Amino acid sequence: MTDHDIRVLDDSQYRAAHTLFRGTLHYPPAADDGWKLAQDSYEPGRAFGAFADDELIGTVQAFSSQMAVPGGAVVPHAAVSRVGVRVDWTRRGVLSALQRAQLRSFVESGDVVATLRASESLIYGRFGYGVATRYRTVRIDRSRAKPRTRITGRVRLVDLEPGEQLVRSLYEQVAPRRVGTIGRWPAWWSMGLHQPSRDERPKIAVRSSDGEDDGYLIYKVKPGVHDASESKPTTLDVIDLWARTPEAWADLWLFALGVDLVAEVTAEGRPVDEPLEWLLGDRRACKTTAEEDETWLRLVDVPAALSARTYRDRAGTAPVLIGVRDTYLPDNTGTYRVSADGVSRVTDAPELVLDVDTLASAYLGDVSFSTLAATRRLDVVEPDAPARADALFAVPEIPWCGTFF
């Protein structure tokens, strides 16, 4: 018998859950104006609490969303956030119980996948989450950048209130074209754009060509000291940048690099394959300061997830039989025949066997089955099975999400 129980939270308990979560990150409770923004992000039935003697000791929640998968399909997605267990209750099964309840709720609500951003990398693999996308952080020395081209369209600043609706519309048009992107819920935008302090609010620039908007940039400028020493340089931080075309993408970056009285341009969470260096006269002006895991993906419904995406049709590539193990959602356990024509569940013996978190890492195409085999993350039964799986799961573009939550 456990000494705690798991319950769905109601709106009278959301603030306590929010305070508990912030406490696990060593932050104080949100002030009233900050809580007003956060309150609207809680969805009925999507937040859980762990209780001991009616005292809240842990919490987890999710936002309703969608995810783009290889081939152009978009599947129901749960964005998991605000996971925390009170420090005096850690390592007593509370998080495991919360995860079990949440995963069962995803099955019941029809979510095909779930994702999260992990504060610690050793926690979530045991619950079936695997690293499926990566991002990089860049810093550009503006004095050395010397862009090789100029803006060809029109980039204009827009006010925050009308700009919010504009960028939301552009994001919804552009983002699903890239594998790994997710739908952003209304509270994501309000919390990101409408901070309590006006000094923290970002600026919005929109690019257009022939009278049609085709991309946007959200950024903040952090003032420094404007003197020769540059001991505290003024920095322009690119927060969010999406474009419908390569031309729009280039113009928006050129706009960011062209803002006067700025020493550095920085951006966190950008695609690892974004060709920023090729815009610059001195490519060494752009430094990758970090490359990190981004999306931790959980396949909630393995048959539906495998069937939703497409597979590369390469001449001579035979199907592969993949055996999946899933401790937390055992209905997913089984063997799946994957071919260019689709996916079916079979009773045949598998040709390679892996845990559901490892399959999640390979699902969007960021890591190959051969790499996972070489690092002993899966069991190879037939020696050529990883190569066949590589060919079938290959994608033309590195997956990327671009949304932090």
Pair (260, 282) in one structural domain: yes
Pair (167, 257) in one structural domain: yes
Binding residues: 83-85, 91-96, 119-120
Kindly state whether residue 121 falls inside one of the protein's structural domains. no
Give the pLDDT score at 195. 72
Q: What is the number of other CB atoms lying within 10 angstroms of the CB of residue 169?
A: 12
* Domain edge (last residue) among 77, 111, 145: 111
pLDDT (tens place) for every residue of the chain, 405 residues total: 579 999 999 999 999 999 999 999 999 999 999 999 999 999 999 999 999 999 999 999 999 999 999 999 999 999 999 999 999 999 999 999 999 999 999 999 999 999 999 999 999 999 999 999 999 999 999 999 999 999 999 999 999 989 999 999 999 999 999 999 999 999 999 998 887 666 678 999 999 999 999 999 999 999 987 666 556 789 999 999 999 999 999 999 999 999 999 999 999 999 999 999 999 999 999 999 999 999 999 999 999 999 999 999 887 889 999 999 999 999 999 999 999 999 999 999 999 999 999 999 999 999 999 999 999 999 999 999 999 999 999 999 999 999 999
Kindly state whether residue 150 falls inside one of the protein's structural domains. yes
Pair (284, 331) in one structural domain: no
Kindly state whether residue 78 falls inside one of the protein's structural domains. yes
Pair (374, 248) in one structural domain: no
Give the pLDDT score at 106. 98
| Selected catalytic residue, list 14, 363, 369, 405 | 405
Pair (180, 326) in one structural domain: no
* Domain edge (last residue) among 293, 314, 342: 293
Pair (190, 268) in one structural domain: yes
Kindly state whether residue 335 falls inside one of the protein's structural domains. yes
Kindly state whether residue 34 falls inside one of the protein's structural domains. yes
Kindly state whether residue 403 falls inside one of the protein's structural domains. no
Pair (156, 220) in one structural domain: yes
| Selected catalytic residue, list 63, 124, 127, 393 | 124
Binding residues for acetyl-CoA: 83-85, 91-96, 119-120
Kindly state whether residue 224 falls inside one of the protein's structural domains. yes
| The pairing of beta strand 320-325 with beta strand 352-355 | parallel
CATH number of the domain residue 233 falls in: 3.40.630.30
Contacting residues for 20 by C-beta, under 8 A, at least 6 apart: 56, 57, 58, 59, 84, 86
Pair (165, 247) in one structural domain: yes
Please give the span between the terminal C-alpha atoms of the chain, in angstroms, as a whole number.
35
Is 63 annotated as catalytic? no
Q: 333: domain range?
A: 301-393
Pair (274, 172) in one structural domain: yes
Is 405 annotated as catalytic? yes
Rounded to an integer, what distance in angstroms lies between the CA atom of residue 334 and that of residue 341? 19
Residue identified by tokens 């013996």 is: 349
Pair (143, 84) in one structural domain: no
**Separate counts of helices (H) and strands (E) for the chain:** 11, 19
Find the angle CA(10)-CA(14)-CA(20) to the nearest 5 degrees. 135
Kindly state whether residue 237 falls inside one of the protein's structural domains. yes
- Number of structural domains the chain divides into: 3
| Closest-CA residue to 126 (of 373, 360, 293, 294) | 360
Pair (286, 307) in one structural domain: no
| Edge-first strand listing for the sheet containing 264-270 | 154-158, 203-209, 212-222, 235-243, 264-270, 134-141, 286-293
| Closest-CA residue to 104 (of 52, 48, 43) | 48
CATH number of the domain residue 389 falls in: 3.30.1050.10
Pair (254, 194) in one structural domain: yes
* Domain edge (last residue) among 273, 293, 313: 293
